[in-house]
Structure 1
Amino acid sequence: MGNNTYPPYFNLTMFVNIGTYRYPTFVLCLLLYALIVLANFLIIVVISQEKTLHEPMYFFIMCLSINSLYGSAGFFFRFLRDLLYDTHLISRSACFTQTYVIYSYASYELTLLGIMAYDRYVAVCQPLHYHNKMTSKLVSKLVTFAWIYPAFSVGTCVYLASRLPLCGNKIPKVFCANWPIVKLSCISTVINNLVGMLVSTTTVFLPLAFVLYTYARIFLICRKRSSEFKAKVIQSCLPHIITFVNYSITVFCDVALSRIDLENLNPFLAVILSLEFVVIPPILNPLVYGLKLPEIRKLILKMLSGPKPDKQTKSHK
């Protein structure tokens, strides 16, 4: 096959020409990325340094923040550069690398949310057996699986897409994505579609179904318990529920956008919906857990306020 079937560059066509507004937009997006990095890094530092937070639930929260830093880096580094240029060509290798990073980030997020749902289920429905079940060994195995399986499955999809001869190089998004590349194929994509469906089922729909199942069980338990018990459960589970609902919406938007003709949409709306997938979860997760969980909130406020002056020193002065 000719070299033209394996284009050395892809063209990201969803960037809107904003003229002189590109520089304010660049500064705004840079500040947003800085906020994402700061918020998630703060969560990681607080949980890693505070021994009272060395429990499974907080360890999973720290993993979410690490994943947010990973995914947002894969998107923002290239996106900020593209905001300043008139052309939006990305090399073939860079495009497939970005595709892998962004979609492995998405898969990590869903598998971690599924594990966190199991952790909350055991804590609420089997509290007497929680420490026997959620051992450090089991937590390590769950987190390892949550990282290894998506890495392998997403890597398989990206590899299969990279082997396809293509009849074009235009990707109607602001970042590289697997399905728009597959749609450019000059040959049948049956294998890609089958593998994609299998990966979507195991990394998206199964974790979502499991989360729904665990919270249905938690709801049935709460119906028979006291108001005080219900309040404690809500305080413990609400951040995870908010994160789960938010991420479900962003995944649905990305899947829907990949299946429709984006050129028929308002360009600004298409860009906003595309950005939601890679921007909202990394900024919302640390805010939700930092504000809703009192243990983390107190330690963050303590860290930001700095050390208090010694009482003896103060009285001496």
Structure 2
Amino acid sequence: MQVQNPFRRHNSTPVSSFVLTAYFNLGSLRWLFFWALLLLYLLVIFSNVLLVCVIALNRSLHEPMYMFLCSLFINELYGSAALFPFLLVHILRDVHIVPAAFCFFQVYALQGYGIIELLTLMGMSYDRFVAICHPLHYRVRMSRNKSAALILFPWIITLVGMGNTIILSSSLELCGNDIDKVYCDNYPIVKLACYDTTIINIYGIVGTFNIIVYPLIVILYMYLRILKVCWGGERRTRQKAANTCAPHLASVLNFSVAGFFEILQGRFDLSHVPKMLRVFLSLYFLLCPPLFNPLIYGLVLTNIRLVCRGLLLRVFRRGKSDS
């Protein structure tokens, strides 16, 4: 005799696709939004690819700090590739149905992007902590092997961890297929489950602490130690710390605000908030860091700025001489 799950709802049906219900009729403005998003995507590609090439092709930038940045920019391209083409296609569509397999793939890619981003920022904070608080031991503590391990760690742990998350979510029996977002997200899918998901929610809370709260605590601790050293140091030390840490802090703050909006959107009922604002809050997490990070690092870090300027000048002069 089969024992039925007491938490299970009775109207479960196999789900082969999901419907994204956050899209609304843009009317004649859809092409305006399409071209605006396409322009932003091209800007993301150009700026991040430019900085990756600048760091990769200049041996003077083959230092741990710039290798972390290179990993960060590659992750921006990875996350953007999982979002922008998808949005561009659906803006022009009247029906927003996504196959289940692709939906789970997008969850894997977009959440993986967020985890890699934060863990990379944590590694960058440790690099700056060692450089400023223990400068004499920097070469030992940030050796080539250790730097490579710190850079690869976010990618490896995320690719494995997100695989477990997708296996859990895709095995759920669902009592619906409507996702109130403009892209696929894991928590709205879990909420469609036909039975109690307490164990999965506990797993999600523990995972959230490990991949969001703990890294933020580590980052905060590192920068408090840096500020303590700078406060009692010379003016030159304070200036050096400000030049190298300001873009990192700005990037962490921007990503933290974006992550807060995403958690707020997923965990609380925001049905009273205008739909366009809810869509913006859910996209801020994915749109702003890829646009913001190359700009802030390219403008503030002197070495990158000078190399970029020289590269663009050479390209401009070559094009001018050819014409």
TM bin, normalised by shorter chain, reads: over 0.9
Partner-residue secondary structure (3-state), 2:271 = helix
Within-5 A mapping of 1:145-224: 145-224=153-232
Within-5 A mapping of 1:230-309: 230-306=238-314
Q: Give the corresponding residue for 1:104.
A: 112
2:257 is matched by which residue type in structure 1? I
1:58 is matched by which residue type in structure 2? Y
Q: How far is the alpha carbon of 1:3 from its aligned partner?
A: 10
Q: Give the corresponding residue for 1:72.
A: 80
Partner-residue secondary structure (3-state), 1:218 = helix
Structure 1 distance, partners of 2:182, 2:299, is 31
Alpha-carbon distance change, 263 to 6 in structure 1, aligned in 2, over 3 angstroms: farther
Structure 2 distance, partners of 1:182, 1:95, is 13
TM-score normalised by the chain length of structure 1: 0.95
- Is the CA contact (8 Å cut-off) linking 2:79 and 2:113 kept in structure 1? yes
Q: How far is the alpha carbon of 1:292 from its aligned partner?
A: 0.4
- Is the CA contact (8 Å cut-off) linking 2:12 and 2:194 kept in structure 1? no
Structure 2 distance, partners of 1:153, 1:47, is 29
Q: How far is the alpha carbon of 1:5 from its aligned partner?
A: 2.8
Structure 2 distance, partners of 1:177, 1:129, is 43
Residues 74-107 of structure 1, C-alpha deviation per residue, up to 9 Å, x if partnerless? 1112111000001111000010000010000000
The gaps in structure 2 that reach 5 residues or longer are: 1-7
Partner-residue secondary structure (3-state), 1:236 = helix
1:75 is matched by which residue type in structure 2? L
Structure 1 distance, partners of 2:76, 2:316, is 32
- Is the CA contact (8 Å cut-off) linking 1:243 and 1:281 kept in structure 2? yes
Q: How far is the alpha carbon of 1:306 from its aligned partner?
A: 1.5
Q: Give the corresponding residue for 2:137.
A: 129
Within-5 A mapping of 1:87-102: 87-102=95-110
Structure 2 distance, partners of 1:192, 1:4, is 19
Residues 242-283 of structure 1, C-alpha deviation per residue, up to 9 Å, x if partnerless? 000000000010000001224322011011111101000011
**CA RMSD in angstroms, aligned pairs only:** 1.8
Partner-residue secondary structure (3-state), 1:11 = strand
1:272 is matched by which residue type in structure 2? F
Structure 1 distance, partners of 2:158, 2:211, is 7
Residues 15-69 of structure 1, C-alpha deviation per residue, up to 9 Å, x if partnerless? 1211111111101100100000100000100000001000000000000000000
Q: Give the corresponding residue for 2:59.
A: 51
Q: Give the corresponding residue for 2:4.
A: none
Structure 1 distance, partners of 2:274, 2:70, is 37
Structure 2 distance, partners of 1:259, 1:202, is 18
Partner-residue secondary structure (3-state), 1:10 = strand
Q: How far is the alpha carbon of 1:204 from its aligned partner?
A: 0.8
Q: Give the corresponding residue for 1:33.
A: 41
2:72 is matched by which residue type in structure 1? L
Q: Does 1:86 align with 2:94?
A: yes
| Identity %, equivalent residues | 39
Ranges of 4+ aligned residues in structure 1 off by more than 6 Å:
none
Structure 2 distance, partners of 1:152, 1:197, is 18
- Is the CA contact (8 Å cut-off) linking 1:125 and 1:218 kept in structure 2? yes
2:281 is matched by which residue type in structure 1? L
The gaps in structure 1 that reach 5 residues or longer are: none
1:298 is matched by which residue type in structure 2? L
Structure 1 distance, partners of 2:305, 2:15, is 50
Partner-residue secondary structure (3-state), 2:248 = helix
Q: Give the corresponding residue for 1:60.
A: 68
Q: Give the corresponding residue for 1:141.
A: 149
Residues 162-198 of structure 1, C-alpha deviation per residue, up to 9 Å, x if partnerless? 1111111110111100101001111111221121112
